[in-house]
Amino acid sequence: MIPLVRAFIGLALAGLVAGCASGGTASSGNSAMSPQSAAAMDNPNLDPGTSLGGTPAPDFRLTNQFGQPMSLSSLHGEVVLLAFDDSECTNVCPLTTQSMIWAKQLLGAAGDKVRLLGVDANPRATSVADALSYSQAHGMVNQWNFLTGSIAQLKSVWSAYHIAVQIEKGLIDHTPALFVIDQQGREQKLYLTQMAYSSVIQSAEVLADELSSLLPGHPKVGSQQSLASVSAQGPGAQVTLPAASGPSVSLGPGKPRLVMFFATWLSEMSDLKSELALGNAYAAWAARSGMPGLTGVDETVVEPSSAYVRSYLRGLGLKYPVGLDTTGRPADGYEVQDQPWFSLVSASGKVLWTHDGWLTLPALETAVHHAA
């Protein structure tokens, strides 16, 4: 999927947003806002939300990852976070999913009063098994209901919520929308996930603040970090990451590197363990040929936990270092747009070549040899 985040605001969501004359993101000037709200408004990687003015949320009835029927109206009386996710997504959807999890966690015990709901936005992967597979890969099996149905049913829901879904060059495009629905079944806020790993926890805090405003007693949100733009850590910066095993892992100038960004949930769509093992063969070839060595970076900011990542990688016998990106700042600095993502970097910190997706060993060796 290629996320067209901002473009869809003016196209697919034009009618929905335009009908919110009384809401929308604040436009009366930052002087009337709290410092946190002003920082969020000025952060290009964070959507502070658009008011939907309490419009009744269209009802629907679909099937969850357990094969059980469920309707939106059955959740009246509870606050609902409703997201539209591609069941095979490798880029923006995991950011949406992780922000939902963290938003609920930031509310502590009060988070039990929030229901997480997803609707499949992939017209080619609509089975209950697809919904379950995505839920398992992201540690969400018992934390939400991920709904699917026939193409006709899904198209009806997409239309009702102004979700644009299309297939372009074989890839899925869809509006990365997340709705907050109150206890009376009314749409309160719309959020569009930005393709920025470093803003996932910030997005979660913005969501948690909105959820708190709808819950009895307005429970305290567990984190109050700054919502200001986070500086990225690109190839020109010296960065030290915690390692999946062994000593810490370094990125930055000093020597050329082939950096491979990945996440363990790629096992849903590929034979991830075999792909990671292929890195051993590349590392051996690079050492023999004087080519840049391989450094793996797990995008831990959208993983269930660092412990889970370490457990997954343990015993694979990887012959190259793997660091854990727990902040998303390196991913943003290397302009990672998908998983996996390869970036060949010179000793001076210049990006020489990038690639989205897995490659065969000969293709990888050829690409690095030509670009290095």
Distance separating alpha carbons of residues 368 and 263, to the nearest angstrom: 22
Residue 71 binned pLDDT confidence (cut-offs 50, 70, 90): very high
Whether 344 and 301 map to the same domain: the answer is yes
Residue 234 domain flag = no
Assess whether 105 and 205 both reside in one domain: yes
In a domain, 225, yes or no: no
- Same domain assignment for residues 9 and 143: yes
| Residue 220 lies inside a defined structural domain of this protein | no
Please identify, among 199, 214, 229, the residue that sits at the C-terminal boundary of a domain: 214
Tell me what pLDDT residue 322 has.
Answer: 98
Handedness of CA 231, 235, 241, 243 (dihedral sign): positive
What is the rounded CA–CA span in Å between residue 287 and residue 293? 7
- Output the pLDDT for position 195: 96
148 with 273, same domain: the answer is no
- What CA–CA distance (Å, rounded) separates 84 from 1? 13
Nearest to 25 by CA among 5, 8, 46, 4: 46
Query: Could you tell me the two tokens for 15?
Result: 């009618």
**Within a domain: 228:** no
Cβ proximity of 264 and 303 under 8 Å: yes
Point out the domain boundary residue: 180, 214, 248.
Answer: 214
Query: Does a structural domain hold residue 231?
Result: no
Same domain, 153 and 188: yes
* 222-276 pLDDT tens trace: 977 889 999 999 999 999 999 999 889 999 999 999 999 999 999 999 999 999 9
**Number of independent structural domains in the chain:** 2
**How many percent of the chain have pLDDT more than 70?**
91
The answer as to whether 277 is a domain residue is: yes
Tell whether 192 and 259 lie within a shared domain.
Answer: no
pLDDT at 185 over 90: yes
- Residue 318 to residue 276: CA distance in whole angstroms: 7
The verdict on 85 and 189 lying in the same domain is yes
Inside any domain, residue 258 = yes
What tokens appear for 142 in the block?
A: 């018992």
**Percentage, residues of the chain above pLDDT 90:** 84
Is residue 166 within 8 A of residue 86, CB to CB? The reply is: no
Dump pLDDT digits (tens) for 303-322: 989 999 999 999 999 999 99
Give backbone dihedrals phi and psi of 110, rounded to 5 degrees, phi first: -65, -20
pLDDT per residue as tens digits for the range 6-54 = 334 344 444 343 232 223 333 334 446 677 788 888 889 999 999 999 9
Q: Which domain holds residue 245?
A: 239-371
d(CA 98, CA 134): 13
Nearest Cα neighbor of 208 from 115, 111, 84 is 111
Residues 210 and 243 occupy one common structural domain: no
The answer to whether residue 14 sits within a structural domain is yes
The token duo for 215 is 């819950």
Q: Are 41 and 48 in contact (CB under 8 A)?
A: yes
CA angle 359, 362, 363 (to 5 degrees): 45
Looking up residue 124, the CATH number of its domain turns out to be 3.40.30.10
Co-location of 198 and 250 in the same domain: no
- What the block records as the tokens of 199 is 């803003």
Instruction: Mark which of 153, 181, 214 sits at the end of a domain.
Output: 214
Do residue 210 and residue 244 come from a single domain? no
Query: In terms of domains, do 20 and 164 share one?
Result: yes
Q: What is the structure's pLDDT at 157? A: 98
State the pTM of this model.
Answer: 0.89
Residues 181 and 326 occupy one common structural domain = no
